[in-house]
A and B are shown apart, each in its own frame.
Chain A
Amino acid sequence: MTDTSIPLREPAKAAFLAWLIPGLGHFYQGRTGKGWLYATCILGLYAVGFYLGSGKNVYWRWVSPFNTDRFMLHYVGQFFVGLPALPALIQATIEHFRPGSNFLGGFMAEPPANVLNGLLLRGKPYEIGLIYTTVAGLLNVLAIYDAYEGPAYGRGDEPEADAKDAEGANTVVTAGGAA
């Protein structure tokens, strides 16, 4: 639903910016309040999740999606946080073509198996970090949609429209009753 009273300046560009950095698309549209809300909630979740996972829970590896043991399903969610999760994709691509290149000191590269096992043995923080970062990405999908299409239910404070709807509903009931 596109509400014409809400300024959606160049929706496609705003959606791209919203993907790149959560909230940026809304700042571009002049919807600064929402921009701050999305940036705080989504980047906050992502940052806390990344910290809980000791920076080892956002990584990607190029394998077939049918290889369910090795496919990084959580990165599909994390990807939508945009720029903060993008180094993982770049690392995996470089590692795919030039194995062992140690680009950026291995930042967001796939951790060695012994490091991963150690983190998993440490307990829940790693798993919770994984949930935080993945949910952050999925929430940004909603923010991208909002930047492109506007709020799903409109402004939400239209008393006249509500009154008309209620009136319409009453009429239907009355008409049904009369029949």
Chain B
Amino acid sequence: MNSASNIYWLILPLVVAISLVYTASRYESWPVIWARSTRLCLWILAALIGTTAVLLLVNTQS
């Protein structure tokens, strides 16, 4: 893994923080916050990975 691909790991703390803060601003109960923020985090990651996969698929550059 080169340094260029290492920067993709920086998306992870960003997504986790966004999921936690967003869900915490919606609910007060901790079990609900954990469950929903986990779900939101996975949804965002899935969307990002899916989009990246499509872009790689249609990529015409080497």
Q: Show the binding face of A for B, using Cβ within 8 Å.
A: 3, 6, 31, 33-34, 37-38, 41-42, 44-45, 48, 52, 124-125, 128, 131-132, 135-136, 139, 142-143, 145-146, 150-157
Chain B contacts of A156 at CB under 8 A? 26-29, 32-33, 36
CA distance A35 to B32 in the complex (A): 17
Chain B residues 1-37 with CB under 8 Å of chain A are 7, 10, 13-14, 16-18, 20-22, 24-33, 36
Given known contacts A37-B20, A37-B21, A143-B21, is B27 in contact with A135 (CB within 8 Å)? no
Q: Is the CB of B25 within 8 A of A152?
A: yes
Q: Given that A41-B20, A44-B17, A45-B14 are known contacts, is A157 also in contact with B7, CB under 8 Å in the complex?
A: no
Q: Report the count of interface residues on B (CB-CB < 8 A).
A: 21
| Contact present for A155 and B28 (CB under 8 Å) | yes
CA distance A157 to B30 in the complex (A): 9
Residues in chain B near residue A143, CB distance under 8 A: 21, 24-25
In angstroms, Cα B16 to Cα A146, docked, is 19
Chain A nearest CB from B7 CB (Å) reads: 5
Contacts of A41 in B (CB 8 A): 16-17, 20-21
Determine if A142 and B22 form an interchain contact, defined as CB atoms under 8 angstroms apart. Answer: yes
* B contact residues around A6 at 8 Å (CB): 28
When distances are taken between beta carbons in the complex, the residues of chain B under 8 Å from A44 are 13, 17
CB distance from A19 to the nearest CB of B (A): 14
Starting from the known contacts A42-B21, A145-B25, 4 additional A-B residue pairs (CB-CB under 8 Å) come to A34-B28, A41-B17, A152-B25, A157-B29
Q: Could you tell me if A157 and B32 are in contact, using CB atoms closer than 8 angstroms?
A: yes
CA distance A135 to B30 in the complex (A): 23
Asked if B14 and A33 make an inter-chain contact with CB atoms under 8 angstroms apart, the answer reads: no
Contacting A124 at CB < 8 Å: which of B7, B16, B22, B29? B7
